[in-house]
Amino acid sequence: MPPPASPPSPPSPPSPTTTPPLTLQFSMASAIKLPVFRGVGNEDLDWFWFMVSAVLEAQGVMNDKIKKATLMSALQDHALTWYIEHSNDHLDVGIEEIQNVLNIEFSWPKTKTIHHRV
């Protein structure tokens, strides 16, 4: 009679330099939230666009329509109102053009005053 089979050895723990499995990388990228941009004078527009680009790249978003929808979730207050009012006329523009127009509209200091609706 053959000797009993020994139990399988447990897997060795990953070394600290091992890349996490792709599923873990994906879930971490999906958990990253976009910063909020409100369109007020004390916000850093360059930092906002840097973070939007980094998050979209980490999430692997390549489609312009998905990028624009994702961007809309990061806009609030005056910036969101402005985006909605102006996007209906320009549905076919890419994210780069939206970035350029938002940079022009919300670059500070601004000579015009922002009028909030009541």
- Residues 6 or more apart whose CB falls under 8 angstroms from that of 59 comprise 29, 30, 32
- What is the three-class DSSP state of 37? strand
Mean pLDDT of the chain, nearest integer: 76
pLDDT digits (tens, 9 = 90+) for 14-55: 555 655 555 555 555 566 788 899 988 788 888 999 999 988
Residue 102: the pLDDT is 86
Q: Nearest-CA neighbor of 74 among 54, 94, 104?
A: 54
CA 108 to CA 39: how far, in whole Å? 10
| Residue 83 pLDDT greater than 80, yes or no | yes
- What is the three-class DSSP state of 86? helix
Residue 116: the pLDDT is 46
Alpha carbon of 96 to those of 27, 64, 65, 108: distances in Å? Answer: 27, 9, 12, 20
Share of the chain above pLDDT 70, in %: 63
Residue 39: the pLDDT is 87
Residue range 57-85: mean pLDDT, rounded: 87
